[in-house]
Each structure stands twice: as C-alpha cells, then as structure tokens.
Structure 1
Amino acid sequence: MTGWSVPARWPASRRRRDLLLGVLCAGVTAFVATVPYHRDWFDLWVYYDAVSHWTAAPGGLSGAGLYDYRVPGQVYGFTYPPFAALCLLPLSLLSRPVALTVGIAANLGALALILRGLAEPLIRRHGLPRWSSYALILCLLALLEPVYDSVSFGQVNLLLLALVLSDARLLSGGGRWAGVGIGLAAAVKLTPAIFIGYLVVTRRWRAAGTAAAVAVGATLFAVWLAPGASHAYWTSALWDTSRIGDLSYVSNQSWQGVLARLRAPAEPDRLWWACGAVAIAGVWAYRVDKARAVGDVRGGIALTGAAACLVSPVTWVHHLVWLLPALAVLADRALEPPRRGRPLTAAVAVYVILCSYVIWLWRYDASGVDGLIGSNTFVWTALALLLWLPVRPPHPALRAPSGGPERPAPERRGAAAATP
C-alpha cells in the first residue's frame, strides 16, 4: 500500500486500539482547551509582573522592589525566594505573548520528563506497548486537576517535580550528581526541601550533602546578587501569610488548611498545626526508612511527596502534583497479575479523586461533618497514601546494600525491577 493507508499486516485489534486512542486524545485535547476551570495563567503573570517591577524599581536587583509588588487590587505578591526570581528574570526581557509561550513550553517539557520518569518503568516492567501506553498515560495525566491547574496557572510545580524525579533516577543508578536536582528545587521553593530530609533518612549522605550544598549555594548567590530582596524575603515576606491568600480557602489542601477551615474566620491554632506536623513527619520518617530497608527509591520519593503536601502550611490544589509518584506506584501494583482487587481499586479511586474537582462543592461553606470530609478530600487522600502506600522489596538476591543504589531485578513474571 502507499500513502497514509494502514498496512494490511497490522492486526485488526491494533488498528482498533490506535483508533480508540486517537479519539481519546482528541477528546482530552478538546476538554483541556475548553474546560471552564481555566486559571488564565494567573501565577505566570505574577512572576512576570513582579520581576519586571523589580528590575524597574529604584536600586534594581540590589533593592527590595521584588517583594513590594502586589497584584493590582489584590493581596497576592511574589512568594518564592529570591533565587527563584533570578531564574525567572529572563521573563522581564520578553513580551507578554512570548513569555506565555515560554511558560507553556516549559511546563509541557517538564510534563514530558515526568511522563518518562513515571511511565517508563511501568511500561518496561509490565511489557506494555510503548507509544500507545505513553499516549494513554499522557491523556490520563492531562485530566488530573493538579496537573491541569499547574499548566493553566503557569505554575512551577511541574518543573520542580521533574528536577526531583531526575534525582530519583540518579539515586537508583548510583549517579554521582544525585542531589543536584533536589537542591535546585529547594532553592526555588521551600516545599521540596523535604526531599533533602528524605536523603538524610535514607542515609544517602553524599546526595544529601550535594543537595544541601546546591540549595545553600544558590541561596547565597541570590544574597550576593540581590541583597535587598534577600533581606526582605528572609526577614519579612516569608512570614507574611497575607501575601499568599486566605489559609482557610478550600484550595489549601494541607493540614493547616484543615485547621484553618475548622477555625475560620479565626486564625488556625499553631500548636495543633505543630503537633500534627510532627506526627506526620514521624510517620513519614518511619515509612521512608522501611522503604530504604528494602531498596525502594520510588516508594520513598512517593511517600515524601505525600508528606510534603500535608506538612506545608499552604498546599494549593496545583501543588498536589507531588502525589503523582504515589499514583505511579499504585498503578504499578494494579498492573500486576491478576490485575484486580485492592491495588486496582486504590489506584482508580485516587485517580478519580484527583480528577474530580470535588472540593469546590464546599467552596463557600465548609461547615458541618460533610464540610470536614468533603472540603478536605485531597488532604485525606494524601494522608491515606502516606499511611498505606505499598513499598516494594526487590528480589532478595538483588537487594541493594543499605543506603546504596538499587540493582535491576531480572525480567520474570511477578518480579519487579528495582529501578524507578
């Protein structure tokens, strides 16, 4: 045959599969292009306007103008460390349409790296058809509310997750540069700093030292290049919660968000938050150490992402991309023969919840028992993942030394490779 006709040798089942995938991709594309929950690139424009205001303010990069900026008519301002602003500084040289294009391209590129990091092990381990599996998983990712919100807000979460997952891959292979990605992510935003704690708990001392050195070095570089902004951030802006927004707003799916909604309009009780955060950190450290003992890097990273969402004072819905590694772990278990039962139920349930937009039903009233349960759905999901996410021991003959890199398991039915 010639042209674009389908070769006759292709099995009919494959043609049907490709046709169904094409229809699915078209439907998902139409949905994400027209869904009414689009965020109009709000955060991207905060970044753009803040760094533009900073460069034009008296004193330029040496001044504190970065944190003087507020969105006109609103309380929101730039909330990240100065190093993040330095990374975003090239935006100020671009027109708004070009900056928007760059922001979208950066998020899509990060999503591609995340897709490869999370999907490739599943495809390889379970012998799935590569390109059709990638297409299906990409469609499933696009429908997740945290992923969609990150892209439509123009957020940096996907970029940071891609950095952390690049380190997870290096950790599994014993790469000498492991820790660099986590260190950079922690310098851009404070939440990923918990992954340095993961490296400490799992006794990966070299990677932990590398991550800490990169994070501190990047922060000191920002202090040297932007002393005014650094002083303003570490002494004032970091502690000013009014810059972030209302802690009781339903989008804040953290432990502090739960307390804030219970106490609204009063401030959440800091003692209760501290007690809960300590308890969460204790459970996290215990479970991560269990994952370390069996050489499960992917499980440890997934548990750390769930803990990060819970202990962070503010976890907007788009921050929940840190739950994607846990979802990949559940999918891995669900694909194991006989591919039914509790792992499959758990994977489907978590996926549906993260696609559901369910918390917005309590946007205006989170009172009562239904409000406590429904408005905090993502909090309870992250907590359930922290408590019950399965960790996978590699084959006993291939178990990695304590704190060392994992070694790949052989290809055999029922056995899982240890690499992420």
Structure 2
Amino acid sequence: MSTSTIENIETSSAAPKLPPRAIAPAAWWTIVLAGVVAGAYYLVQVLEHRQVMMHLIDLSVYQIAGDRVSHHVSVYDSPLLGDTRGVWEFVYTPFAALIFVPLRWLHGDLYTLVGGLGNFAMLAVACWTALSMLGYRRDRRTAVAAVAVAGLLLWCEPIRQSMAFGQINILLLLIVIVDMALPDTSRWKGVLTGVAAGIKLTPAFFVLYLLVTRRYRAAATAVGALVATLVVGFAVLPKDSLTFWTGAFMDPQRVGVPANLSNESLRGLIARSVGVEGTHQLLWLAGAAAMAAVCLYLARRLSRAGHELPAVVCVGVTMTAVSPFSWVHHWVWLAPLLVYLGDLALRRRGLVAPLGFLATAIVVSGGVLVVFDPTLVSVFDFAARAHPTLLYRNAYIWLTVVLLAVTALGLRRITNSERSSLGAKDEEWMLSAK
C-alpha cells in the first residue's frame, strides 16, 4: 500500500459529527458525589492550613507588578520581592504586567476570594470545555458535572499548587482550551491562543499545532493577536518592553538554575543527571526538539482522526515538558488529561483504560498524600526518602514519554485496523468483479 493511500485513509478517518451525548445517570451521580466530598475536604484543609493551602504568594507578586506599573516603576530591573537574582523576578511579558494592574485594588477577604474562587471557577469552565470537546451535551447536567470534576481535580498536584500560589496557569489553560474548542470556521479561532502567548510565551507552541493541522488562518490570527499584545506593551511600557524583548525573556537566571529540584522539565532532568556544564545545553535542545516533533506528529494524526481533546492535551503536556523551566504548578495540562482518561475508563470495556487512569491519577495526585502523611505534600517528596531518585524526581517527564508512546501505539493499531478493513474491501471488490 502506498504512502498516499495511507494519507487518504487517515484524512478520511476523521470522526463524523455525532449528536451530543449525555453522561449516564449512574456515572453522573458518582462524579457529583465524589466531587462534593473531594471539594469539601479540600475546603476544610484550606480553612485549617490556610498558610499552606492558600497563601497566594504568586498572586501577591502579580499584585506588586501591577502596582509598579501604576507607579511607573520597572518590573524587570529588580526582583519584585527581596533582592536575590532568580527569586521572585518578573518573568512574564509587559502585557501581562498591564493586566495585573487591577489586582492592586484587591485586599483582605476579597483578595483571597478572587484568588481562590476565581481559579476554581476557571478550572470548572475548562472542565466543561473539555467535556464538550469529548462530545457531551452543553447543558446544565454537564455543567454540574464539570464543577464536580473540578472539585476532584483540586487533588491533582499541579492544580492544588496553582490554587495555593494563586498562579496564572489555570487562566492560560482555560483560554487556550476554549480557543482550541472553537470550530475551525470561526474567525476568532487563534485570538485567545495569541493572547495567552502574549502573557506567557510557552502557549506559542500551540501555533505550531495549528500549523501542522493546516489551520493556517487560526495560526495567522494567533500570531496577529500576539503581535497586538506586543504593540500594546510597547505603547504603554516602552522601556520595560525593550528590556524584555531584547534579552530578558531569554535570561535563564531570571527563573532559576536548570538543576533546581523543582524544575520538572526535560532540561531539569538532564541538568540533574549530567550537570549543567559541557553537553547539557545540546542534549536538552536535541531532546526537546525530538519530543516536540513526535508530539506534533501524533497530535496532527489525532486531530485528523477527530480526537481533538487528546491532541490538544498532548500538545499542552509536551509544551510543559520541553519548557526551559517548569514548576509543578505549570503542569496544569495534566488536569484535562485526567478528564480524557476518566472518560475512557467509563466508556471502554476491560481493565486497560481504568488502570491507565488510576496510574496517572496516582502520579499526579500529590495532594492525596496528606491523608497518609501530612509531611508529604507532593509525589516528588519521595525523592528524599526513596530510590531511584531519577524516577521519582522526574515523574511528570516519564509520564509525558509514556503518554506519547501509548498514543503512538494506539494510532498504529487504528492504522492497522484500517489497512485490514481496506484489504477486505479490495478482496470483496475483486471477487465481485470476477
């Protein structure tokens, strides 16, 4: 069979537009009750350990950045807190600093309410979007289920850490996944991705996804939106914009050393394994390029086959893995991964899908560890107590590798099935011709 024939099969295998489906009543009640219990227990933990579970220190840093902008003080010349390089330095774009300005008016309970409930509300909308991408009805039942799923995801360690720090990552997850969920015919598709990249550069990886899936108009729209954020930044903050775009955005010391134990990226794995001298940089660039290429190839095939959510999740997780520096709370794309795997576990027969979901949930649900040992706030804390450190300390990287490998095997199985189907049809045609 020729390569062109395989390409035609792959293109034609895109899933037809099926009518929206409803969540089965038994599954719906199970999700809602579990979500209520998980959310209630999380709230109790927040009330009892607010300084650990909801300190919102990163939101405070954003607030300082917004205050500096309003007082015409540079956000890049010195750390926002303290005076140590690589600690509490502003690493976002000037456009991001502008959108942080309204935070300066938040104080007291309103500050905590916006930081906590605001992130939870955005998480719930992101879950609703993910469920709609899986073909579920956009009705009240699905909305309630999405809130319950968000309650369960509060025990996903990246989500829990984002909530605790008041991080911006859930907002970026939301606007990108909403953008990817828009129909390709929408003239607005790409705008939100460009805005997300204008706040933090890493979502620009989704522009490559739009290109490899031949959504050229959406990709151009995303680039246009990104450029618009640059123009706004230069118009309002010309000095800071010049500082950021002429070198500050490429300065690794603004974030921290690559070998930092909290750097859960491919670069962190390599730096901790071989050191930061010699071939470290070359190994990271080669590994990141290879992982990104494999991801985009697989995501392209998933999208062509009509599996948009797993394609988008694959891109989001890989984007985090190949980033120069990824804190645990950067891995928020593991949340929609759990949504997708949970859906598979409910719909597929056998044990493979449920076991895959369970294994992934165990790896990413560091918050559940507090039930057994309050000193274990993250799965990465096992690194100090058990070996091999290379496995535990880089759990999210290995999870990404497994995700790509399983996706490749699944797509290969689909292709083999299509080849067998085509062969059977050819044989039937030949027999009828005789």
Same structural fold, with TM-score higher than 0.5 when normalized by the shorter chain:
yes
Deviations 1:13-42 (A, max 9, x none): 999998776545433432354468536212
3-state SS, counterpart of residue 295 of structure 1: coil
CA distance in 2 between counterparts of 1:121 and 1:283 reads 23
Of the three residues 143, 146, 154, the one matched with 2:155 is 143
For residue 382 of structure 2, the aligned residue among 361, 367, 371 is 361
Q: In structure 2, which of residues 300, 310, 313 is the aligned counterpart of residue 289 of structure 1?
A: 300
- 1:201–1:289 contact (8 Å) kept in structure 2: yes
**1:186 Cα deviation (Å)?**
0.6
2:307 partner letter: D
| Structure 1: distance between partners of 2:312 and 2:303 | 10
**8 Å Cα contact 1:310/1:383 also seen in 2:** no
> How much does 1:130 deviate?
4.6
Q: How does 1:91-102 map to 2 (within 5 A)?
A: 91-95=103-107, 98-102=110-114
Equivalent residue, structure 1, for 2:424: none
For residue 352 of structure 1, what is the aligned residue in structure 2? 362
Task: State the identity as a percent.
Answer: 31
Residues 166-210 of structure 1: per-residue CA shift (max 9 Å, x gap): 1122136x3221111111111000111101111001000111111
| Greater CA drift, 266-275 or 44-53 | 266-275
For 1:370, give the aligned amino acid: P
Map of 1:52 onto structure 2? 67
**Deviates most, 298-307 or 98-107:** 98-107
Q: Give the SS at the match of 1:345.
A: helix
Kindly tell me: are residues 314 and 152 of structure 1, through their superposed partners in 2, closer, same or farther at Cα, counting changes over 3 Å?
same
Distance in 2 (CA, whole Å) between partners of 1:190 and 1:20 is 36
Q: Which runs of 5+ in 1 are unaligned?
A: 1-10, 396-420
Residue among 33, 38, 45 paired with 1:31: 45
1:415 is aligned to none
Change (3 A) 1:308 1:347: same
Aligned partner of 1:374 in structure 2 is: 392
- Residue segments in structure 2 that go unaligned for 5+ positions in a row: 1-24, 367-377, 415-434
Given that 1:250 and 1:359 are in contact with CA atoms closer than 8 Å, whether structure 2 keeps it comes out as no
Post-superposition shift, 1:226? 0.8
- 2:334 match: 323
CA distance in 1, matches of 2:407, 2:74: 44
Contact conserved, 2:134 with 2:309, CA < 8 A, in 1? no
1:236 equivalent in structure 2: 247
For 1:355-400, what per-residue CA distance to the aligned partner results, in whole angstroms no more than 9, with x for missing partners?
132112226x99xx6111111011111221233237789x9xxxxx
Q: Contact between 2:128 and 2:142, CA under 8 Å: does it hold in 1?
A: no
Cα separation, partners in 2 of 1:92 and 1:265, compared to 1, 3 Å = same
C-alpha distance in 1 between matches for 2:353 and 2:140 = 18
State whether residues 35 and 152 of structure 2, in contact with CA within 8 Å, keep that contact through their aligned partners in structure 1.
no
Partner of 1:270: 281
Equivalent position of 1:406 in the other structure: none
Which residue number corresponds to residue 56 of structure 2?
Answer: 41
Point out the more displaced range, 285-294 or 83-92: 285-294
Deviations 1:248-280 (A, max 9, x none): 222211100101212457587110111101111
Please give the root-mean-square deviation of Cα atoms over the aligned residues, in Å.
3.4
- Return the offset for 1:155: 0.6
2:231 aligns with one of 202, 220, 223: 220
Equivalent pair of 1:183/1:211 in contact (CA under 8 Å): yes
- Residue of structure 2 equivalent to 1:156: 168
Distance 2:249 2:83 in 1: 21
Could you say which residue in structure 2 is the equivalent of 1:335? 346
Is residue 95 of structure 2 the alignment partner of residue 83 of structure 1?
A: yes
Which range moves more in the overlay, 288-297 or 312-321?
288-297
Select between 190-199 and 280-289 the one with higher mean Cα deviation: 280-289
Superposition deviation, residue 91 in structure 1? 1.7
Question: Deviations 1:231-250 (Å, cap 9, x if unpaired)?
Answer: 11122322332221232222
TM-score normalised by length of structure 1: 0.79
> How many residues align structurally?
374
TM-score (norm 2): 0.77
CA distance in 1, matches of 2:114, 2:356: 37
**Is 2:132 the partner of 1:114?**
no
CA–CA separation in structure 1 for the residues paired with 2:397 and 2:230: 31
